[in-house]
Structure 1
Amino acid sequence: MSDYKLTITPIKPDEIPPEETILALGQEVLESTSTWKQGKSYHNHTVKTLSRPKGPGDGASWHCRLSEHKPEDATFDEFWSKVGVNKAENEMKFIGDIKKVTLIKQISPTMSIWSMYYHLPPPISARTFTVLQVTHLYEASPRSGIIVSIPVDVTHDPELAKLEEKAVKGRYVAAERFRELENGNVEWIVATSSTPGGMIPQFITDKSMPSKISDDVPHFLHWFHTVRDSPTNTN
């Protein structure tokens, strides 16, 4: 799998590349966003978007969002505790379309396969996205943490397949990073490529992606501030 690249083309569980390969590819994609085309800014210009067209080996075009956050939004530790840890379960709490998440397989403490079931507004059918999530926290100052998600096809493994929610299968690949900045703020960046599957034309997905991924920022912050000072907020 040395020639593996981040793409929406799913891989089988027995084809998963080494963790360090996946992380390196994620960092490579994130660094490349500095050359992507600048798009609209959202939420009072606090969330910037970028994109690049579909290239060789890509299944779809790529989109990126970038935001910077003061400690009153969330500290680095707070961001990481809610997105770098228990990512799928926490996303279900602030992304309204996600109705169920299932741990398909825990490969290691930092590598796991998750299935996420999305219930979308009619007439769009429900979707299931099954991905491998790889997380790594870089403790050297300035600290950073990265999460890379790649699509996985579990249909050939009956034991894993029975855990996957039945719905139209979508695919997405993503690299996400939190990084401490010199001014004490935290940079949050996500680069992703996706297809919803089914009969939805890809150009419609591409057109809506910048605003959709940008919405995740205020959705997260709103949810986080409802649990920030809660006695049960132990993560």
Structure 2
Amino acid sequence: MTESSDVKLSITSIKPSDIPSEDAIFKAADSIIESCTTWKQGKTYHKVVKTYLRAKGADDGAPWHCRVSVHKPDEATFDQMWEKLGKDKANNEKQFIPDIHKVTKVKEISPNQAIWTLYYKFPPPVSPRVFTELQITRVSEEKPRTGIVISMPIDLSSPEDTELAKMEEKGVRGRYVSIERIVEQEDGSTEWRMATSSTPGGSIPSWLAEGTMASKISDDVPHFMKWLRSLPKTETSA
């Protein structure tokens, strides 16, 4: 694990042996997620999901997109959201994101760090995509209570990672970096922010992928809320 204090979060994949320190990763993530509402504002989706765009910069492999929504306690509490977004995230995402068909935990690094591989299937003629990601979580009980999940693209092509690479599905390799944060507000509502930069890989033109990104990430909000409401009360009573 490297100790770089100047981490740049981007779609550039890193090897497991080069994962930066947690503090450096969270410092970089905080800077991005705090600033996203100052980016160029885009459309509002589903009446409540605001979107923002940051053009590709010198250190970026692709533009950044952000969505922000606020949810009242009768829709979802902070505890309910963190239970499903901050714990076992990949398996939970498979339940409410239709394109995810399989997730596999490649390696658990610590209780709050693990490498996952996610297998996406799309309607033809788009080929399946494979995203292998480091997921790191952190939650603070200090007010305002805050939970954050960071995903960073991981490269398992090195000889020392051969056994780990065997757990990846066959498909076009895509890459994404994302920062997801929930913050409990004074009135009990929860603000949910997500910032991401990605490339689908393959022959899909970047302009096409970028043109649909805002609506795509916004759709995850109602998908999640609908799924959360469908769960037995024993699973959402946090």
Q: Per the shorter chain, which TM-score range?
A: over 0.9
The answer to whether structure 1 residue 34 and structure 2 residue 37 are counterparts is yes
Once the two structures are TM-superposed, the CA of residue 3 in structure 1 deviates from its matched residue by: 3.5
Q: Deviations over 1:101-135 (max 9, x none)?
A: 00011000011000000001100000000110000
Once the two structures are TM-superposed, the CA of residue 35 in structure 1 deviates from its matched residue by: 1.6
Is the Cα contact below 8 Å between 1:142 and 1:181 reproduced in 2? yes
Distance, in Å, in 2 between the alignment partners of 1:133 and 1:154 is: 15
Is the Cα contact below 8 Å between 1:60 and 1:194 reproduced in 2? yes
Distance, in Å, in 2 between the alignment partners of 1:182 and 1:209 is: 31
1:23 alignment counterpart? 26
Q: Deviations over 1:68-116 (max 9, x none)?
A: 0001111000000000000000000000000000001100001100000
Q: Structure 2 length normalisation: TM-score?
A: 0.95
Once the two structures are TM-superposed, the CA of residue 34 in structure 1 deviates from its matched residue by: 2.6
The answer to whether structure 1 residue 198 and structure 2 residue 202 are counterparts is yes
Q: Deviations over 1:134-185 (max 9, x none)?
A: 0000110110000011000012111110011111000000011000111210
Is the Cα contact below 8 Å between 2:117 and 2:168 reproduced in 1? yes
Distance, in Å, in 1 between the alignment partners of 2:105 and 2:219 is: 25
1:86 alignment counterpart? 88
- Number of corresponding residues: 233
Is the Cα contact below 8 Å between 1:10 and 1:153 reproduced in 2? yes
2:125 alignment counterpart? 123
Question: Structure 1, unaligned stretches of length 5 or more?
Answer: none
Question: Structure 2, unaligned stretches of length 5 or more?
Answer: none
1:96 alignment counterpart? 98
Distance, in Å, in 2 between the alignment partners of 1:13 and 1:78 is: 31
What RMSD, in angstroms, separates the aligned Cα atoms of the two structures? 1.2
Distance, in Å, in 2 between the alignment partners of 1:62 and 1:205 is: 12
Once the two structures are TM-superposed, the CA of residue 233 in structure 1 deviates from its matched residue by: 5.5
Give the residue type in structure 1 aligned to 2:105: L
Once the two structures are TM-superposed, the CA of residue 23 in structure 1 deviates from its matched residue by: 1.2
Deviation larger for 1-10 or 64-73: 1-10
Change (3 A) 1:122 1:162: same
Once the two structures are TM-superposed, the CA of residue 228 in structure 1 deviates from its matched residue by: 4.6
Within the candidate set 182, 185, 190, 1:181 is matched to 185
Q: Structure 1 length normalisation: TM-score?
A: 0.96
Q: Identity over aligned residues, as a percent?
A: 54
